[in-house]
């Protein structure tokens, strides 16, 4: 990923990450993985958990809470490229057993740690070479260690019947841009570089080819209200993917207004979305 732009501090992921459904769907994955980890580790042994793309600390907090709930001692190392996000996470988790390192997911080997479990949540779709990053994540686990990933940007993410919302949202956003900023165009070339989606089986195959046996796989349906679409539409990385080449503040305004229009026109109270949740175990 390129340098985090300075604009990122005004267009953060944090408002979206504070929605209840987001907490719940991530907590579900965290429980699937940490409860399994707790069952395989000897009683009282400290667990070492690595979290890639730890962002503003939403999932980090869930991991720490779950270890605490189970009485499992341990610590989390968060790895995240954005210094703005790390600042928010540090503040949020002050006094907890956690450290943050600035870096990208494919630098995980640099930690030199044999993790008991690794998490890579809501971010793997941003990585173009997914096979490479999964190999590196597998290498950084101890034998028998667990890898947990989730994503709502995979080929099963659109709940049946919800496609019309995405089409209308995009159409209305482009219409809003044309009306308010007639000179601004989206860039097709950058679109080709945007998020690449795999299927659930595609992820399972990548893992098994790299010595990771999928031990838990679920697709969870979530109801997302208008405010959450407006919040994700104000996140700079999402804007780059949805409206490539458009200046972030203009893209944010367009997506915000267009989400409201699409909800109104379609008479919606929420749009359903599917999250892929996977836990895999490294061979012993």
Residue located via tokens 């099963």: 156
From candidates 80, 116, 231, 240, binder to ligand SAM by CB under 6 A? 80
From candidates 37, 89, 126, 177, binder to ligand SAM by CB under 6 A? 126
**Applying CB under 6 A, does 236 fall inside the site for ligand SAM?**
no
**Which residue in 22, 15, 102 sits closest to 54, CA to CA?**
102
**Applying CB under 6 A, does 122 fall inside the site for ligand SAM?**
yes
From candidates 11, 17, 33, 173, binder to ligand SAM by CB under 6 A? 17
From candidates 37, 62, 63, 121, binder to ligand SAM by CB under 6 A? 121
**Applying CB under 6 A, does 255 fall inside the site for ligand SAM?**
no
From candidates 11, 13, 153, 165, binder to ligand SAM by CB under 6 A? 13
Residue located via tokens 């956690």: 98
In degrees rounded to 5, what are phi and psi of residue 225? -75, 170
**Applying CB under 6 A, does 198 fall inside the site for ligand SAM?**
no
DSSP letters, 52-114, are: ET-TTSHHHHHHHHHHHHHT--EEEEEEES-HHHHHHHHHHTTTSSEEEEE--GGGGGGG---
Antiparallel, parallel or unpaired: β 270-282 and 212-225: antiparallel
Gap between the Cα atoms of 137 and 107, Å rounded:
9
Sheet with 98-102: strands ordered across: 98-102, 74-80, 47-52, 115-121, 141-151, 270-282, 212-225
Binding segment for ligand SAM (CB under 6 A), chosen from 122-130, 135-143, 191-199, 201-209, is 122-130
Checking phi first, is residue 190 left (phi over 0); if not, alpha (psi -120 to 50) or beta?
alpha
**Applying CB under 6 A, does 242 fall inside the site for ligand SAM?**
no
Asked if 173 and 255 touch (Cβ cutoff 8 Å), the reply is yes
Q: Which is nearer to ligand SAM, 76 or 200 (CB)?
A: 76
The minimum distance between CB 182 and ligand SAM, in angstroms, equals 31
Tell me if residue 147 falls in helix, strand or coil: strand
**Applying CB under 6 A, does 239 fall inside the site for ligand SAM?**
no
Q: Binding-site residue total for ligand SAM (CB under 6 A)?
A: 21
DSSP 261: H
**Which residue in 32, 26, 34 sits closest to 55, CA to CA?**
26
In degrees rounded to 5, what are phi and psi of residue 120? -145, 90
Please report, as residue ranges, which positions from 36 to 75 form the binding site for ligand SAM (by CB under 6 A).
52-55, 58-59
Q: Which is nearer to ligand SAM, 177 or 274 (CB)?
A: 274
**Applying CB under 6 A, does 207 fall inside the site for ligand SAM?**
no
The minimum distance between CB 251 and ligand SAM, in angstroms, equals 16
**Applying CB under 6 A, does 12 fall inside the site for ligand SAM?**
no
Q: Which residues bind ligand SAM (CB under 6 A)?
A: 1, 13, 17, 26, 52-55, 58-59, 80-82, 85, 104-105, 121-123, 126-127
């Amino acid at each position: 990923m390129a340098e985090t732009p300075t604009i990122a501090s005004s267009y953060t992921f944090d408002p979206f990450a504070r929605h209840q459904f987001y907490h719940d769907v991530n907590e579900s994955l965290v429980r699937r993985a940490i409860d399994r980890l707790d069952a395989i580790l000897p009683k009282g042994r400290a667990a070492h958990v690595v979290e890639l793309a730890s962002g503003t600390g939403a999932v980090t907090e869930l991991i720490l809470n779950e270890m605490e709930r189970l009485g499992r001692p341990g610590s989390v190392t968060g790895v995240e490229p954005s210094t703005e996000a790390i600042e928010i996470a540090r503040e949020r988790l002050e006094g907890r057993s956690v450290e943050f390192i600035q870096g990208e997911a494919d630098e995980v080997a640099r930690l030199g740690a044999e993790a008991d479990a690794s998490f890579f949540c809501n971010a793997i779709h941003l990585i173009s070479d997914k096979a490479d990053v999964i190999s590196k994540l597998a290498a950084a686990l101890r034998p028998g260690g667990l890898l947990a990933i989730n994503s709502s940007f995979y080929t099963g993410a659109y709940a049946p019947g919800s496609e019309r919302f995405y089409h209308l949202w995009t159409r209305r956003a482009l219409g809003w841009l044309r009306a308010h900023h007639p000179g601004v165009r989206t860039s097709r070339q950058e679109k080709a570089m945007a998020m690449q989606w795999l299927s659930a089986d595609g992820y399972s195959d990548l893992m098994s080819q790299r010595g990771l046996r999928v031990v838990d796989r679920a697709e969870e349906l979530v109801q997302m209200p208008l405010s959450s679409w407006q919040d994700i539409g104000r996140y700079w990385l999402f804007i780059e993917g949805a409206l490539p080449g458009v200046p972030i503040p203009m893209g944010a305004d367009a997506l915000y207004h267009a989400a409201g229009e699409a909800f109104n026109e379609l008479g919606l109270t929420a749009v359903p979305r599917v999250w892929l949740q996977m836990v895999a175990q490294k061979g012993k």
